[in-house]
Amino acid sequence: MSTELIPFDFEGRPVRVVTDAQGEPWFVAADVCAVLELPNTTRALARLDPDEQALISIQGISRGNDQVNVVNEPGLYSLVLGSRKREAKRFKRWVTHEVLPAIRKTGSYTAPSARPTLPAPTQDRVAALLLIGEAVAKVPGVKPGIAMAATLTCIQENTGLSVQTLRRALPAANEAICSLNATQLGRLLGLSAKATNQRLAHHGLQLRNERDEWELTEAGEAWAEAMPYSRNGHSGYQILWNPAVAEVLKEVA
């Protein structure tokens, strides 16, 4: 029997294999029992037939003892049947559908390439920015797409990661962005901010609430957004209008 170990990995847990003269695999029993959560390897092996297990010597496999118990394919299946863990069925399928065919075809097993991972500090930074982005997206008046675009920009600026592919997945802004306050909108109309607000109210797009602040009506929500702000210790909402509403205000009510 070959003493060259073929290492492979099942869901993050190592399982080592050797092959005999006929190329048949023998699994290190302790590794299999660890995957199947069978705590006592000796007791588990006692349930197997003599031809399902063997004791071989592999130099350097453990400190002070080169002897190791191995089980063949029938022995492995017997151990699987002795496990009550849900992983047992997945383990058996993985061995029979991936590992054994690979060993018999090439004499070795090549694990699927691991996905590239980010360094832990970068992962933490990205996770924190995503949480902030989710919180911002829940603020009334903030569009989720705009919040995500801003989050991606923050991620790129703080980590150097390229986010252009993700940015292209965001919905296109087909509508003009609501960006004008009453003063700026008034300039398009040749009106003061006060006169502009009065005309907006006259068209039923906004009204004064109980706090004597302008508030969007249901009709006004089609033309504007109430954006949160905080300035000089005071917070509230500022109405920003779509420039296209200027054409509506030019109409004589």
* CA 56 vs CA 23, 49, 118: distances in Å: 16, 17, 41
Q: Which domain holds residue 228?
A: 182-250
DSSP reduced 3-state for 14: strand
CATH of the domain at 21: 3.10.260
Query: Where a domain ends, among 53, 76, 106?
Result: 106
Tell whether the torsion through CA atoms of 82, 85, 87 and 93 is positive or negative: positive
pLDDT in tens, 44-74: 999 899 999 999 887 666 666 678 899 998 8
pTM beyond 0.95: no
pLDDT in tens, 173-229: 444 566 789 999 999 999 999 999 999 999 999 999 988 889 999 888 888 888 776
Residue 177, domain member (yes or no): no
* Whether residues 24 and 90 fall in one domain: yes
Q: Percent of the chain, pLDDT > 70? A: 77
Q: What is the pLDDT of residue 147?
A: 72
- State the total domains in the chain: 3
Residue 20, domain member (yes or no): yes
Which range (126-130, 149-153, 205-209) has the least confidence? 149-153
* Selected residue with higher pLDDT from 27 and 162: 27
Q: What is the pLDDT of residue 115?
A: 47
